[in-house]
Structure 1
């Protein structure tokens, strides 16, 4: 019996593991000699950020929740290291699957390798080139010691080869987040705020901001929001914000008549909102992927991206962190001049099937 431990720690992880679990269940049903154990590190936990994802995306209840939430990044890393080591000592694995680039990804990889357990990194090889991003540090550390890499693009493979990985370690499979998006597109539903805010399709903007560089410096956030409001004409701006960000927002001198600050939404509600919007303004990498596949214009408030395919083939544009850059992009949007998405190789909803085929046909036999 080939034993797999799958790690999820934060909201983006849940979207990435859901189709993998579905594909593993199908493989088991057709005779594959494997078992899996789902470990939730507890890195992010609240009803909308965590539990609703398990319910909506048909992810089984985790076998364990390590409850490693809160604290500084160093404290959280240490907490996950200690708890995951106990987990693997109690429930040994032949393969640990980590996804994305959160603290849990890096910490659980370290633990597994110290215990001489093989690690597969789903979404390995993506790089922003920005070492001020905690996610970039997590990616580089994870990829430096992982054994197998399930990649989203040829560029990710190129990055890994340049860092000394062997071709036989790399598997270009696509993007499991897109599997989840396509699997659930017909299940998206209106959030309650739709009627409360009197929203109409194509007549509002979705805004998300969470990166410390954008939200922790109050003056920067105030200037950015003021410019967004100024350049979006008369459209409502719907901003699902985490409680920490809401607290910062409440202290700003910003005209909030069109800025609708709402609680974080569940996966199916949030993507309904994005799918029907005029555009998305964001600093999230994952949303750029989803918006591109839904052909929704996307403006990214960052100076770099680890997902260049969303710019080259998708609907994403890298606006940067200077608020003055917004005007020309939004003028293009309102003039109807935004680019349309093109086909992104392997982003077809079948990534998880390819991952599990690699596991059953190659990794188990090793």
Structure 2
């Protein structure tokens, strides 16, 4: 088998967690040359570089430096810069992961140059086309040659949209690979102790979606809800840069700072953040990946969204969709119930990267 240059595209924090297990698995193969392409979609140290360190990844082979801006500006920059890279150094296979602008942008650049593209975490759907991530998923899946899915519902979505079943491979949840790869370091990390907290005696909060943080009235109602929730359960709020900016702009930050039962933290590295997750009594979030991690760990999750592209987390009973008006009531119900305990889910076993490598090995002759 010829040596195959494989681009692993990462642009935002969730991407780094998904490429890490695959990079390490491919690095053990004598026929594969995995190369990390960092688009620069997240360019703050706390939002990218610290994750590379925690996940034991080398410096990216290529850094596109796309930066921020509007969705259109950022995506255009990613497409332009990745196209230039592929023209100069064409890979044998491009692997994009997740659903961020880098996922869609690099897939578009690669396919317009007739390069083979694989989408890891394909087939997820929320059904909500007002979410930028949903548009990214739909476009990426529609042009990818190989679709590697995390769960049976993702297979069903792809088949219903007319995708050839031979292009689909159910590989499992790559996020669980990242967790299991570092589970020892996560368990031994002492962040919870540093904060003076006890395991299962606090709630963890993360918020970043524009639908929750960009409207003054809605964010104000969420802040008031968190203040009320802290009376029942101390909270640790890991504040995303976007959310911090809105809290300051809307004059809401001082309310949180003045509440002794709410601990405000900046963005955390992967090991520190997962230490907070695994020791929490409940999580309040609008993230996608955290819904999966809490389901795997058996930790109640209240998701501040109208829908989710990860319905398996709802089906298994650990995740509940909530609104500003309902999350306090749902939190009280969670606190009155026993912890669910860790769940066994097919192909959420830490071996997804190995299954992906098997997929690449099978298709290598056509690359």
TM-score range, shorter chain: over 0.9
Matches within 5 A, 1:191-340: 194-195=193-194, 197-250=195-248, 251-252=251-252, 254=255, 256-257=258-259, 258-313=261-316, 315-319=318-322, 321=323, 323-337=324-338, 339-340=340-341
Shift of 1:104: 0.4
Contact 1:176–1:349 (CA<8 Å) still a contact in 2? yes
SS in 1 for 2:302: strand
In the alignment, is residue 347 of structure 1 matched against residue 348 of structure 2? yes
Contact 2:78–2:102 (CA<8 Å) still a contact in 1? yes
Shift of 1:361: 2.2
In structure 1, distance between residues paired with 2:355 and 2:169: 9
In the alignment, is residue 109 of structure 1 matched against residue 107 of structure 2? yes
- CA pair 187-341 structure 1, distance change in 2 beyond 3 A: closer
Aligned CA RMSD, in angstroms, stands at 1.7
* 2:14 corresponds to: 12
Contact 1:314–1:340 (CA<8 Å) still a contact in 2? no
Shift of 1:163: 0.8
In structure 2, distance between residues paired with 1:278 and 1:232: 13
In structure 1, distance between residues paired with 2:137 and 2:176: 20
Contact 2:192–2:199 (CA<8 Å) still a contact in 1? no
In structure 2, distance between residues paired with 1:314 and 1:168: 32
SS in 2 for 1:96: strand
* 1:151 corresponds to: 149
In structure 1, distance between residues paired with 2:227 and 2:126: 28
Contact 1:2–1:364 (CA<8 Å) still a contact in 2? no
SS in 1 for 2:27: helix
Contact 1:232–1:330 (CA<8 Å) still a contact in 2? no
Deviations 1:224-255, CA, capped at 9 Å, x for gaps:
22123313434221111123322322312735
TM-score, structure 2 normalization? 0.94
In structure 2, distance between residues paired with 1:192 and 1:342: 25
In structure 2, distance between residues paired with 1:243 and 1:208: 11
In structure 2, distance between residues paired with 1:254 and 1:20: 43
Shift of 1:193: 7.2
In structure 2, distance between residues paired with 1:211 and 1:244: 9
* 1:163 corresponds to: 161
* 2:55 corresponds to: 57
Contact 1:315–1:341 (CA<8 Å) still a contact in 2? no
Unaligned runs of 5+ in 1: none
TM-score, structure 1 normalization? 0.94
In structure 2, distance between residues paired with 1:76 and 1:194: 39
- 4+ residue stretches of structure 1 with deviation over 6 A? none
Contact 2:107–2:117 (CA<8 Å) still a contact in 1? yes
Unaligned runs of 5+ in 2: none
In structure 2, distance between residues paired with 1:315 and 1:65: 38
Contact 1:125–1:139 (CA<8 Å) still a contact in 2? yes
Shift of 1:342: 3.0
